[in-house]
Amino acid sequence: MNYELKKLSISDGRDIYDMLQEIAKDENGFINTVNGMTFEEYKEWLISRDAMSKGIGLEDWQVPSNTYWLFVEGRPVGTGKLRHFLTDKLRAEGGHAGYAIRKSERNKGYGTILLKMLIEEAKKMNIEKILLTVRNGNTNSIKVALNNNGRIENVNEERYYIWIDC
């Protein structure tokens, strides 16, 4: 199979928009604000996310963050976010990376592939290790992290804290 990770572009089109409509607004902690947006709102969102990757227009709690799309055989099947660094708040809730696979493409191993590719991007950014904070009930995401050599550092009543060396 042909897998490709593409960084968000302000020219991304309907195929990405349609995929994002298939991912819930808040699913196991992955926030997808595009779900329910009009196509025109999505195009504005792309501009704001592109600015966010450059550290422009961030709110106090935000850090620069890149958004990526996983394509399989030319079709977008998932999205991932990679924060450039962490604050204390993001260490407690959020971590470096988040990812989601569209409903119609789940249980095919794409989450593991997507996270592996995000780890490679983190390595290119000179991030030595990434933190994932995974909600306790999200067993699929915990498996994805462990499949990528994740080490569980801590578990509390809400989430797992999993570190992965880049």
pTM, full prediction: 0.95
In the chain, what are the domain boundaries? 3-119
Distance of alpha carbon 129 from its chain centroid, rounded? 16
Residue 99 has a CB neighbour count (10 Å cut-off) of 24
d(CA 16, CA 5): 13
What is the structure's pLDDT at 60?
Answer: 85
- DSSP letter (8 states) at residue 16: H
> Contact 114/101 with Cβ under 8 angstroms?
yes
What is the structure's pLDDT at 28?
Answer: 77
**How far is CA 98 from each of CA 72, 135, 156, rounded to the nearest angstrom?**
19, 12, 19
| Domain 3-119 part of CATH 3.20.20.140 | no
- Which residues of the chain register pLDDT less than 70? none
Residue 89 has a CB neighbour count (10 Å cut-off) of 12
